[in-house]
Amino acid sequence: NETVSKNFIEQIIEKDLSEGHCETVHTRFPPEPNGYLHIGHAKSILLNYGLAKKYGGKFNLRFDDTNPTKERNEFVESIKEDVKWLGVDWEDRLFFASNYFDQMYEAAVKLIKKGKAYVSDLNAEEIRQYRGTLTEPGKEDPYSKRTIEENLELFEGMKNGEFEDGSKVLRARIDMKSSNINMRDPIIYRVARMNHHNTGDKWCIYPMYDFAHPIEDAIEGITHSICTLEFEDHRPLYDWVVTELGYKNGENDTPKQIEFAKLYLTNVVTGKRYIKKLVEDGIVDGWDDPRLVSIAALRRRGFTPESIQKFVELCGISKANSSADYAMLEYCIREDLKMKKPRMMAVLNPIKVVIDNYEEGKVEYLPVVNNMENEELGSREVPFTRELYIDRDDFMENPPKKYFRMYPGNEVRLMNAYFVKCESIEKDENGEIKVIHCTYDPESKGGNSPDGRKVKGTIQWVSAEYGKKVQVRLYENIVNEELGVYNEDGSLNVNPNSLTVLESIVEPALMEAKPYDSFQFVRQGYFCVDSKDSKEGQPVFNRIVSLKSSFKL
Ligand code: ATP
Ligand code: MG
Ligand code: MG
C-alpha cells in the first residue's frame, strides 16, 4: 500500500510518449573510463536502466572516451564488471564514443559549411578573455570572419597535423552576447596530440564534450539523455548541436537532455583526487578498500546489488541537491541480509572459559537453527566442549547495575547450549583475567532449565578445541565526522580509528566460507569474506555493518 508517485523524469517521458515526441524510450549510461564507479554512478546507472525497463525501451552502456588523457582500458573493464554486478544488462548495446570520431568530424565540417563554425587562432587565455563574464558580454573573435572555404581548409589542416597543439581551435558560431556563457562561440574541436586507448594515434584533433555528447546520443537514437545538474546551463548548447545537425526538429523533439541532482553521501568521500591520495598515503589498500564507496569497495565490503538498488530507490530522484545518510545505506544492507543469511557464533575478542564440571575430552554436537526468522536456511551442529571462548565484553569482574552478562556468581545462558555460572577467575601476573571458571547445569541443555529458572543474559561462545582463529576487521568512517570531511587547507580529516583488526575465534563451519560469502555473527553484525586477503581455508572477515541502527525509515 505504498503510494507510487511518478518522479519528474517519468512525467516528462510519459508526456513525450503520449504527445508523440518519441515512439519508445532509449536511455544510456555514459561513463568516462577514467576511474572506478562509485555509489553516485550507481544511481545514474539504475535510473537510466530502470526507465528503459519500465517503458519497454532500450538501454545503452556507452564509454564516453573522447578525452584520452586519463582514459584507460583497465577502467573500461572495471566499469563493465560493476555495471553488470548491479544487475544491469546492456545486451548487445555496448558503445564507444571514440568509434564516432569520423562522424563527429563530418558533423563539424557540416557546421562549417553552414557557416556555423570557424577556426580561431586565439589561444586558451585569449579565448577566455574574449568570452567575457556573467556581467560583461563577450567580444567577437577576430578570426570569426574567415570564409567557409578558409575554414574548411584550416580544419582539414588541423586534422592532418599541420598545426601545433593548442594553436588552433574550431568554434561554434552562436552568440557572443548570449547571457549564457556556454553559448558564446564554444570550442568544439581542439588540436592535441594524444594517444587514445581505442583509436591510437589516428587523431590529433579531439571534440569537446559539449559537441561530442549530443552527437553520441543522436547517433544511438537516445531519446532522453539524463545527466546531472551541473549540465543544466549546457542544455541550450546540446539543443543547438542536435538541431543544427538536423537530428532534432523542434524543441519538444528528442533527443532531449534532462538533469537531476547528484547523489551525495554525508561525510563520505567520493572525489577521485582524495581517494587517490588515501591510496598513495597507504591509508587504504586500493580503490576497493572496504571503507570506500566505489562499487568495487561496496562489493568487497559485502553490500549486495539489491541493497544498493533499494538505497537508490529510497533516495529518490530530484532536481534539488541534497545529501543522503550513510546510515540509510546500512539500513538497506541489513534489511537485505536479515532473512537471507545464517546466524553464526563468533567471538571477536576471545577470553577463555573452563566449565569445571564438564567432562574433559567430551564433545557434544548441539543443533542450532541457522536463522530463526527463516526456516528454509535449515540448521547445523555446533561442537560444545569443556573449554570455550566467550567475548571479553561479555564478562565483568565488578559489573555495574543492570549488567546481565557474565560476572562472578552470576548465571547466564550460553546461546543454544547450557546455563553456566561463573565460579572464579584466574589472572596473570599483570592482573589480567586469563581464564574464567564456570559450572554448568546439565539439565539446561538447549538453553532452558526444566525448573523454570530464568537467566537474563544470553551470550555466544565457540569451542576452544574446535573453533578457528581468523582475522576480523571492523570499520569506521574514514573521515573524522566530528571535524567534518575537509580541513581548511582542503585536506581530509582522516579518522585514525577507521580500521580495527582483531584475532577472533569462529565456529568451525565458517572455515568453508568463500570470498563474498556473508553471514550474521550473532550480536555483532553482518560480515563478509574478504575477496583480496582471504586464502583457501583461511577466510578474513570484514564487518559490513553492525546490528544496531540509529536509522529509522
Ligand atoms: P566523478 O568525477 O565522481 O567520477 P563524473 O561526472 O566524472 O563523476 P562520469 O564518468 O563523467 O563521472 O559520469 C558518468 C555518469 O554518471 C554521468 O551521467 C554523471 O552525470 C553520472 N554521475 C556522476 N556522479 C554522480 C552522482 N554523484 N550522482 C548521480 N549521478 C552521477
Ligand atoms: Mg568519472
Ligand atoms: Mg565527468
**pLDDT tens-digit series, residues 323-339:** 999 999 999 999 999 99
- pLDDT tens-digit profile of 392-434? 999 999 999 999 999 999 999 999 999 999 999 999 999 999 9
Query: In this structure, what are the phi and psi dihedrals at residue 15, rounded to the nearest 5 degrees?
Result: -65, -45
CA distances from 46 to 121, 197, 256, 313, 320 (A): 43, 27, 19, 9, 19
Beta bridge partners of 352: 389, 435
Domain ranges of the chain: 8-260, 346-460
Q: How many CA atoms lie within 13 A of 432 on its CB side?
A: 5
Instruction: Give nearest CA residue, ligand 1 atom 9.
Output: 31
Question: Which pLDDT value is given to residue 407?
Answer: 97
Domains 8-260 and 346-460 share a fold: no
Asked whether 41 lines ligand 1 (CB < 6 A), one says yes
How would you list the strands of the sheet with 94-96, edge to edge?
26-29, 58-63, 94-96
Compute the distance from residue 45 Cα to the ligand 1 centre, in Å: 10
Q: What pLDDT digit, counting tens, does each position of 89-105 carry?
A: 999 999 999 999 999 99
Q: Kindly state if the Cβ of 44 falls inside 6 Å of ligand 1.
A: yes
In what helix (H) or strand (E) does residue 424 lie, and over which residues does it extend? strand 419-427
Across 488-515, average pLDDT: 95
Q: Count H helices and E strands in the chain, helices first.
A: 12, 27
Residue ID of nearest Cα to ligand 1 atom 15: 31
**Model ipTM?**
0.95
Which protein residue has the closest C-alpha to ligand 1 atom 8?
41
35 Cβ closer than 6 Å to some ligand 1 atom = yes
State the pTM of this model. Answer: 0.94
**What pLDDT, in 10s, does the model give residues 250-277?**
989 999 999 999 999 999 998 888 988 9
Q: Residue 479: which residues within 8 A CB-CB, separation 6 or more?
A: 267, 268, 269, 485, 492, 493, 494, 495
**Average pLDDT score, the chain:** 96
Cβ of 340 less than 6 Å from ligand 1: no
* Residue 37 CA, closest ligand 1 atom number: 4
Interval between CA 531 and ligand 2 midpoint (Å): 24
Residue 264 Cα to ligand 2 midpoint, Å, equals 15
Q: Does any ligand 1 atom lie closer than 6 A to the CB of residue 262?
A: yes
Q: Give the H or E element holding residue 63.
A: strand 58-63
Ligand 2 mean position to 35 CA, how many Å? 6
Among the bound ligands, the one closest to the CA of 34: 2
Determine the distance separating the centroid of ligand 1 and the alpha carbon of 40, expressed in angstroms: 7
Which stretches of 87-173 are assigned E, i.e. beta strand? 94-96, 117-120, 169-172
Fold annotation for 346-460: Ribosomal Protein L25; Chain P (2.40.240)
Q: Selecting from 2.40.30.10, 3.40.50.620, 3.10.28.10, 3.40.50.720, what CATH number does the domain 8-260 have?
A: 3.40.50.620
Residue nearest to atom 12 of ligand 1 (CA): 31
Provide the angle, in degrees to the nearest 10, between the axes of the packed helices 101-113 and 209-220. 110
State the pLDDT at residue 271: 86
Q: What angle do CA 326, 329, 335 make, to 5 degrees?
A: 140
Residue from 64, 30, 478 nearest 271 by CA: 478
Could you tell me what percent of the chain has a pLDDT over 90?
93
Q: What is the CA radius of gyration of the chain?
A: 31
Instruction: Say how far apart CA 498 and CA 487 lie, in whole Å.
Output: 18
> Per-residue pLDDT for 2 more than 70?
no
Q: If you measure from the C-alpha of residue 30 to the centroid of ligand 3, how many angstroms do you get, rounded to a whole number?
A: 9
Q: Would you say the CB of residue 263 lies under 6 angstroms from ligand 1?
A: yes
Check if 43 has its Cβ closer than 6 Å to any atom of ligand 1.
yes
Q: How far is the CA of 87 from the centre of ligand 3 (A)?
A: 23
In order of 331, 416, 523, the CA distances from 420 in angstroms are 35, 12, 19
Whole-number Å distance between alpha carbons of 307 and 244: 44
ω into residue 30 within 30 of 0, thus cis?
Answer: no
CA of 63 to the centre of ligand 1 (A): 12
HSE (side-chain half, CA atoms, 13 Å) at 100: 22
Pocket lining: 539 vs ligand 1, CB cutoff 6 Å: no
Q: Is the CB of 323 under 6 A from ligand 1?
A: no
Alpha helices per DSSP H over 32-100: 39-54, 73-85
The reply to whether ligand 1 has any atom less than 6 angstroms from the CB of 33 is: no
Q: Decide whether any atom of ligand 1 lies within 6 Å of the 493 Cβ.
A: no
CA of 33 to the centre of ligand 3 (A): 9
Neighbours of 27 (CB within 10 A): 27
Cα-to-centroid distance, 60 and ligand 1 (Å): 16
Ligand 1 neighbour 30 (Cβ under 6 A): yes
Q: Is the pLDDT of residue 1 over 50?
A: no
Ligand nearest to the CA of 225: 1
User: Is ligand 1 within 6 A of the CB of residue 313?
Assistant: no
Q: What pLDDT shows up at residue 3?
A: 57
Name the residue with the closest Cα to ligand 1, atom 25: 40
Find the helix packing angle between 209-220 and 235-244, rounded to 10°: 60
Pocket-testing residue among 44, 230, 308, ligand 1, by greatest number of atoms within 8 A of Cβ: 44
Residue 491, pLDDT > 90, answer no
Cell numbers standing for residue 447: 538453553
Residue of 36, 222, 228 to mutate, ligand 1, most atoms within 8 A of C-beta = 228
Is residue 277 within 8 A of residue 244, CB to CB? The reply is: no
CA distance linking residue 74 with residue 78, whole number of Å: 6
Compute, in angstroms, the gap from residue 210 CA to the centroid of ligand 3: 12
Q: Which of 394, 329, 387 is nearest to 358 (CA)?
A: 387
d(CA 257, CA 269): 28
Say which ligand is closest to the CA of 31: 1
Asked if 390 and 459 count as a contact pair (C-beta separation under 8 A), the reply is yes
Tens digit of each residue's pLDDT (9 = 90 or more) over 120-174:
999 999 999 999 999 999 999 999 999 999 999 999 999 999 999 999 999 999 9
In this structure, the residue with its CA closest to atom 7 of ligand 1 is: 32
Distance 41 CA to ligand 1 centre (A): 5
**Cα–ligand 3 centroid distance for 32 (angstroms):** 6
The residue to mutate among 28, 38, 41, 48, having the most atoms of ligand 1 within 8 angstroms of its beta carbon, is 41
CA–CA distance, 364 with 408 (Å, rounded to integer): 26
Q: What DSSP character marks residue 479?
A: B
- When pLDDT is cut at 50, 70 and 90, the band that residue 288 belongs to is very high
